[in-house]
Each structure stands twice: as C-alpha cells, then as structure tokens.
A = this chain, B = another copy of it.
Amino acid sequence: MPSHPEFRVIGVIGMPEIKEGDDLADLILKASEAQGTPIEDRDIVVVTQKIVSKTEGALVDLKTVEPSELAKTMAADWDKDPRHVEVVLKESRRIVRMDHGVLITETKHGFICANSGVDASNVPGEDMLCLLPKDPDASAERIREAIRQRTGHSVAVIISDTFGRPWRDGTTDIAIGTAGMDPLKDYRGEADQFGRTLRVSVAAVADEVTGAAELVTGKNQEIPVTLVRGFQYEESAEGSKTLIRGASLDMFR
C-alpha cells in the first residue's frame, strides 16, 4: 500500500533580537536544536524578511531623510510622515496605484506591493524604517550555504514577506527570495486522472510553503523562522525570479 504524503510546519522559538552583522545561520541552527527539532537534510527554512534586513543593516533613520516636494504633497494629502513617503518612493521603480491613502509600487526587485515593502513594525526606535533586502535570493543563498558548511545538510531557504492582494482581503506571506529549490512546480504535460494532458498548471509552491510558514510566524515576529519538513521540492540553483510575471503578460499593470 502506498503511504500518504505528509509534511510538518515547525515554528522556531527562542531566536534573539537580531542586530546588523548577526550570524543568522548560526542563530537558526542553535534555536532549532534547542527546541529539539535540529535542522535536517531537505528541510525548507523560511526566514522573515524583517530579520534578514536587520542583519544586513537595511534600515533607514528618518532623521536622515530629506523629503522631496512630491513626498511632501502626498504626505499632506494622506496625513503621513513625508520622510516615510520619500523612503517609499526611493525604493520604487514605478507607481502602480495611488488611492485610498495606499501607495502600490513596483520595487527595484520587480515586486508589486504596498509601500515598496517599507515597514515600521517590529523595528527598534521611533524613527527607523525597515527596507527589503537588496537581493533576497542572495540573502537566501548565503543562509543556505552557511547551513551546508556547518551541518553538511542540503536545505532550501525562503525569505518571506507579507503582501496584500487585489480582490481578496487579508494578506498572505510570499517568497521574495529563494535558494536551493524550484519555486514553481510545473504540471504541464502530466496527464490528469482521465489521461488528458493538463494544459496550464504551474503551481507557485514556494509561495504556498511561505504562506504555510506564516501560520506559525504570526505578526509579532517572535517566531521569525519556520522549518517545513517533508515537502518534496525540486532542487534548483535558479532563485525566485520565475515567480515574477513579465510585464508583457501582466494584465494588471
């Protein structure tokens, strides 16, 4: 009898407050071990963007920001801090929508999200903002490689962030960076149960894994690391760029 597929989603507690220059892989390995779930071969390690950005020093002190005229005008209309708006504009490459006091931008990475991913929550200091990592795939690869060197285990790493969506309320966590796994699973060419070839079916498995991790992470960031154990992913060295739809195929630019 074939056995059923099953995987586990394991929140990692006891991570310390993260500072610039911290050795994330070391902290993740220690915290995972301390709670009795040491990292295993083929785990997916999901790490929230916030602690990656903090390690990399991707923080901005608003006291150092000089707002542009546009930022001042927008901030006045929306009752926001003009320096905060300036940081959002600086992190963007394109304004997708401005309405309801919400600024949807395309970031320099190509992500389309609210406020260019700039965030003030769970950051120490009244005037500090957290930016997205400059190259989240590279961040993921560094953590993956450090875990491999110290344990010999081959894992996949996902950097997660919380994005809103058109049409549906509530955010979901998605993968802004990946290492070691194919973020897509391509079912095209496989037969359905009646032998017909499936036409369009490519699942964003990295985003689904990341959403699963959010269910133990929550939003107060006390659990910024999650292990997903037992999901059969395809190994890949390609990173997460295939998750971003090309402009020519995007009907909601």
Interface, chain A (partner B; CB < 8 A): 2-13, 17, 35, 37, 97, 99-100, 102, 104, 112, 120-124, 162, 165-174, 183-185, 187, 190-194, 196, 198-199, 201-205, 207-209, 211-212, 214-216, 218-223, 231, 242-245, 249-252
Contact = CB atoms under 8 A, between A and B. Distances in A.
Copies of this chain per assembly = 2
Given A4-B12, A220-B193, A167 B215 contact: no
A124 B194 contact: yes
Contact of A194 (B122, B244, B252): B122
Contacts of A218: 187
Nearest to A246: B169
Nearest to A191: B220
Contacts of A167: 112, 244-245, 250, 252
Contact of A251 (B97, B168, B212, B214): B97
A211 B245 contact: no
Contacts of A252: 97, 166-167, 252
A165 B2 CA distance: 34
Given A162-B201, A169-B243, 5 more contacts: A4-B223, A6-B11, A166-B166, A203-B214, A205-B215
A252 B209 CA distance: 26
Contact of A192 (B6, B10, B121): B121
Contacts of A244: 167-169
A11 to B, nearest CB: 4
Contact of A121 (B165, B168, B198, B220): B198
Given A102-B251, A167-B250, A184-B169, A208 B201 contact: no
Nearest to A8: B8
A219 B187 contact: yes
10 contacts: A4-B12, A5-B11, A166-B252, A171-B202, A191-B220, A192-B219, A193-B220, A208-B212, A211-B211, A212-B212
A216 B7 CA distance: 8
